[in-house]
Structure 1
Amino acid sequence: MESSDRVTLEHLSEARKAVAVMRSRSMLAAAAGGLVFSALLAGMWLWLRPGKVAPAVFIGIVSYLLFGLPFLLRWIFHWRKIYRRLAELEARIKAGEVVEGSKVSFR
């Protein structure tokens, strides 16, 4: 095993920083995507039925609850899983185990 392939605590620190940036971007995109989708549905309703604001608001809220929120929750659970695996990897390294980067998988 090459020493350049070993995962150290410094590598994990760098990985956590990169993951934090990716997490914030994807969470923002997921939250905004759900809101945009709901707004488009409400806007389409208002375009088809001008003046019917209450049903448009209802459609927007229900579509976010049925589509946007589950999409956001899926990404929340995805990133929690990645952070949990990083914590497990950190525990293995702190326990003295030699961890090779080529054998680390998050799938």
Structure 2
Amino acid sequence: MTARAVTEATFEQEVLKNDKAVLVDFWAEWCGPCRAVSPILDQIATEHSEKLDIVKLNVDENPGLAMKYQITAIPAFKVFQAGEVVKTVIGAKPKPALEADLAAYIS
């Protein structure tokens, strides 16, 4: 299972109205660390799909959402629950560190 892409058009339905916790990966094509962390997110998405949805939002293609959620550095990850941001993680990290950051949502 891979993280699916969301856009400004699908964000409300996929993220804000989701019954599960949703991790949004704010990324861009030109961002090396974003590309490096992508397979790690795909692994987490597969291993924890019953508890956590993972979606990707390209900040270059969706600047309105990047501004709304004050994305100033990428990769940036925000966990949403019931339409609210409940956790923010900035920067690429190895899988154990990301899983530790997300423990409240995946365990």
Q: Please report the TM-score for the alignment, with normalisation by the length of structure 2.
A: 0.23
Q: Please report the TM-score for the alignment, with normalisation by the length of structure 1.
A: 0.23
- The answer to which structure has the higher helix fraction is 1
